Structure 1
Amino acid sequence: MSTRQEGRLTYAYAVLHRGARPPAGLYGIKDAPVRTVAEGPLAALVSDVPAAEFDQPGVRDRLEDLTWLEATARAHRRVVDETAAAVGVLPLRLVTVYRDEDAVRAALAAHAERFERLLSRLEGRLEWGVKAYAQQVPDDRKPGDRKPDGPGPDDDRKPAEAESGRDFLRRRLRDRKAEGAALHEADGLAREVHDALARAAEHSRLHRPQDGRLAEAVAASGAPDAAGRAPAGARPAVSRGPNLLNGAYLVRREAAGTFAERVGELAARSPALRIELTGPWAPYSFTDLPDDEAGRSTS
């Protein structure tokens, strides 16, 4: 019987090889139990969702509801990441919904060749995220080099000795030039970090840099980032400079320790950057690898 007729649709989280054993007791969106639907050599992880929320065209409006979107993304990510910790997995896009299990089987059959190829190339590999931010330099980085704007409690200068408007503008221009030079240097270091990590990984992807305020909100709330990933739990917001690198790197499971050490080495050699490593994640950023396995992707 069609689940659509019962007011339910079938939500698909990921594709895996038939016979692969995902963790027991997985629960997805709305705390619905997750099950597998198999077709040929493939299987999909699915659960039931209410048609009233996930049917077209209403779901497009719900995607504008940040609270609903965050809850859906968290549940989707939890299922995918817990499965990826145990078996090879091909994550599907957020809100991949089918009429019923028969429609899921038809999709697996229609895309079997591509799904099998990607699964084989992602088997035993996980994604690591690396973000690099320009270090924010405090105003007192050169003691005595500048004073706060306006008189302070210890400022005993006479009015005649106060900084003129012209001197003030010159100082501000000099400070801005110095900040621009520091940012240019940090941007160059971020590019070098990416190049080094891309060589250490099988594939790499560059995502759009995050707005600094968004990055702090994500760190504080645990909300998913642009790649569908999210921290395991909330943590205090950290003041950051501009985000200069937002990269994803596909790494073999057995090479994870070596890759993390490489990130640490690069962070120690790059004091102008604040470098953050997240993961491991399911390979969200690599579900469309090119046919040429030898080439590394940096799009």
Structure 2
Amino acid sequence: MTGLRYVYAVCRPFGTPLQAELTGVAGAPAGLLHHHGLVAVVSTVPEADFGEEALKAHLEDLDWLAATARAHQGVVDALTTVTTPLPLRLATVFRDDSAVRVMIEAREEHFRALLDRLDGRVEWGVKVYAEEAAAEPAGAAPAAGAKPASGRDYLRQRRARGQAKEETWQRAERFAHALHARLSAHAEDVRLHAPQNSALSQASGLNVLNAAYLVPRAHSEEFVELVDRTKDEEPGFRVELTGPWAAYSFTGDTGGSGDTGEIQDGQGAADVGEGVS
């Protein structure tokens, strides 16, 4: 069976061995490809599944995509415990090791600059949700089955609901802004992402803050404690912390020309920095 080289991340050489039974995409063990003082973390995947046409078809299969993303993330998470990885985009594949080496040489200067900047740092994600109870205060809506006595009552009820939602939104913005400012003071860099769509994330409540914070690993415990102290400060809001992650939000991209679903022959590299948070 013909195999392709799947690349998870690029990092510097590290002395601590990876987990002995660490497997990646398609159940293949992860290995290290050293070149020019850098390391590509790779595994072999079947061309029958990861060739261009097959991969494009698989990317329409949500179950396959989720399983592949989990396997990819598992390798990156394992790397994060022993070094500072630069994660590559999901489903970055090359024809062979030579093509991977060409990619490293083409992006070498950029990789080294990013690794210098991110060394010893991790990403923490913080989301704030306005809970359903806060989004629709109990007193703002009429009881189930109740009908307004008149058109005037109906308009009054609509205005009351609109005013309650506006007040809740303003309170949510104030809370999110204050929390973000506090956390930013304890981070070296921050990224504000677009709020998540609850219909897609299936998380309850309205997402009013979706941020990533770059924190020195040595200061992570202090950062986590700071977030924990805020969780009960404001009733009606839920604060969620995730991490530590590889610094997905702070790696930018390699400037490569390859897209997910295309096999790279060595002249193009996939973007760095797209990941799960």
Q: How does 1:5-84 map to 2 (within 5 A)?
A: 6-25=1-20, 26-84=22-80
Q: How does 1:56-205 map to 2 (within 5 A)?
A: 56-137=52-133, 141-142=138-139, 147-150=142-145, 163-205=149-191
1:257 aligns to what?
221
Pair member with larger Rg: 1
Distance 2:54 2:28 in 1: 21
Distance 1:40 1:257 in 2: 35
**Alpha-carbon spacing, 1:186–1:272, altered in 2? closer, same or farther (3 Å):** farther
Corresponding pairs, count: 252
Q: TM-score scaled by structure 2?
A: 0.83
Per-residue deviation at 1:214? Answer: 2.2
**Alpha-carbon spacing, 1:20–1:56, altered in 2? closer, same or farther (3 Å):** farther
Distance 1:117 1:77 in 2: 23
Counterpart residue type for residue 24 of structure 1:
Q
For residues 112-143 of structure 1, what are the alpha-carbon distances to aligned partners after superposition, in whole Å with 9 as ceiling and x for unaligned? 1111121122221111110111132277745x
Distance 1:186 1:45 in 2: 42
- Where structure 1 has 5 or more consecutive residues not aligned to the other structure, the ranges are 1-5, 152-158, 217-237, 290-299
Q: Structure 1 residue 208 and structure 2 residue 202: aligned?
A: no
For residues 169-221 of structure 1, what are the alpha-carbon distances to aligned partners after superposition, in whole Å with 9 as ceiling and x for unaligned? 312321221112211221232122222222211111112211113222xxxxx
1:225 aligns to what?
none
For residues 217-238 of structure 1, what are the alpha-carbon distances to aligned partners after superposition, in whole Å with 9 as ceiling and x for unaligned? xxxxxxxxxxxxxxxxxxxxx6
Counterpart residue type for residue 124 of structure 1:
G
Give the aligned CA root-mean-square deviation in angstroms. 2.4
Distance 1:252 1:194 in 2: 17
Per-residue deviation at 1:16? Answer: 1.4
- How many percent identity over aligned positions? 43
Secondary structure of 2:5's partner? strand
Greater shift, 187-196 or 35-44, is seen at 187-196
Q: Is the 8 A contact 1:20 1:87 kept in 2?
A: no
Q: Is the 8 A contact 1:186 1:272 kept in 2?
A: no
Secondary structure of 1:200's partner? coil
- Where structure 2 has 5 or more consecutive residues not aligned to the other structure, the ranges are 254-277
Distance 1:24 1:168 in 2: 64
Q: Is the 8 A contact 2:132 2:205 kept in 1?
A: yes
Secondary structure of 1:279's partner? strand
Secondary structure of 1:93's partner? coil
Per-residue deviation at 1:36? Answer: 0.4
**Alpha-carbon spacing, 1:19–1:257, altered in 2? closer, same or farther (3 Å):** closer
**Alpha-carbon spacing, 1:140–1:190, altered in 2? closer, same or farther (3 Å):** closer
* 1:266 pairs with one of 213, 227, 230: 230
Q: Is the 8 A contact 1:29 1:76 kept in 2?
A: yes
Q: Is the 8 A contact 2:49 2:55 kept in 1?
A: yes
For residues 144-191 of structure 1, what are the alpha-carbon distances to aligned partners after superposition, in whole Å with 9 as ceiling and x for unaligned? x8651435xxxxxxx9xx733421331232122111221122123212
Counterpart residue type for residue 191 of structure 1:
H
Q: TM-score scaled by structure 1?
A: 0.77
